[in-house]
Amino acid sequence: MACQALELAMAGLYEELAALHDYDAAVARLWKKTAREEMNHAAQFVLLIETMFDMVSATLADPTTLDRVRRAIENTVEEFSLRPPSVREALVAAIDFEESMSALHADQILVFTSPQCKRLLAAMMAADRGHVAALRAALSKLG
């Protein structure tokens, strides 16, 4: 599924940033924590496919857009491995990606036959959005 691939690409970005910024324990912890959260998002998509797929009546996402965003993330990982970003640059890039992806979360792009499914998925996704706030807080601490 394209949405799962996006989440895995973001996890890869955060894992790369954790390795690049391993000299700063607090920043590396933030990157690792966020990578785990993205892996959880990917697992949620698998759960969705396995348990609620028959309740999805339509998909509002354009597969071309999903693929373009995934490729942009992967290109950024490659670029960062060649030219490591500062912590500030990395945080700004991560926040930009997260903001562009917020409209691509499953609760935004899937139409369910059951309102209960929509509410369940919205609650799952809302519980995982705290990492954007953590990234913003880290950026604010840099001054």
Given this model, what pLDDT does residue 127 score? 55
Q: How many CB atoms lie within 10 A of CB 105?
A: 23
Enter the pTM of the model: 0.86
pLDDT tens-digit series, residues 89-136: 999 999 998 888 776 666 566 677 777 777 766 766 665 567 888 999
Strands (E), 11-122: 56-59, 110-112
User: 71 pLDDT exceeds 60?
Assistant: yes
* Structure tokens belonging to residue 45: 């998509």
pLDDT tens-digit series, residues 49-65: 777 777 776 676 677 88
27 in Cβ contact with 87 (< 8 Å): yes
3-class DSSP state for residue 29?
A: helix
Segment 31-38 mean pLDDT: 94
